[in-house]
Amino acid sequence: MTIANPFPVVIVTGLSGAGKSTALKVFEDLGFFCIDGLPSEMSPKIADLILKFDNEYRGLALGMDLRQLEFLAGWDQAIKDFADIGISPQVLFLEAKMGELVRRYATTRRLHPLESKKLGLEQALEKEKELLAPIRTDAAMVLDTSDYSIHDLRRVIQTKWTALEEAGRGMRVHIVTFGFKYGVPTEADLVFDLRFLPNPYFDKKLKQLNGLDSEVQRYVLGSDVGKEFDTRFTDFISYLLPLYADEGRYRITLAIGCTGGRHRSVAEAESVLAALKKKGYSMSIEHRHMELG
123 is in an annotated binding site: no
59 is in an annotated binding site: no
146 is in an annotated binding site: no
Rg (CA), the chain: 21
243 is in an annotated binding site: no
179 is in an annotated binding site: no
Kindly report the three-state secondary structure assignment for every residue of the chain. Answer: CCCCCCCCEEEEEECCCCCHHHHHHHHHHCCEEEEECCCHHHHHHHHHHHHCCCCCCCEEEEECCCCCCCCCCCHHHHHHHHHHCCCCCEEEEEECCHHHHHHHHHHHCCCCCCCCCCCCHHHHHHHHHHHHHHHHHHCCEEEECCCCCHHHHHHHHHHHHHHHHHHCCCCEEEEEEEECCCCCCCCCCEEEECCCCCCHHHCCCCCCCCCCCHHHHHHHHCCHHHHHHHHHHHHHHHHHHHHHHHCCCCEEEEEEEECCCCCHHHHHHHHHHHHHHHCCCEEEEEECCCCCC
Counting Cβ atoms within 10 Å, is residue 249 exposed (0-12), middle (13-18) or buried (19+)?
A: middle
77 is in an annotated binding site: no
168 is in an annotated binding site: no
19 is in an annotated binding site: yes
14 is in an annotated binding site: yes
17 is in an annotated binding site: yes
Q: Which residues are annotated as a binding site?
A: 14-21, 65-68
Mark the binding-site residues for ATP, compressed into ranges: 14-21
* Known binding residues for GTP: 65-68
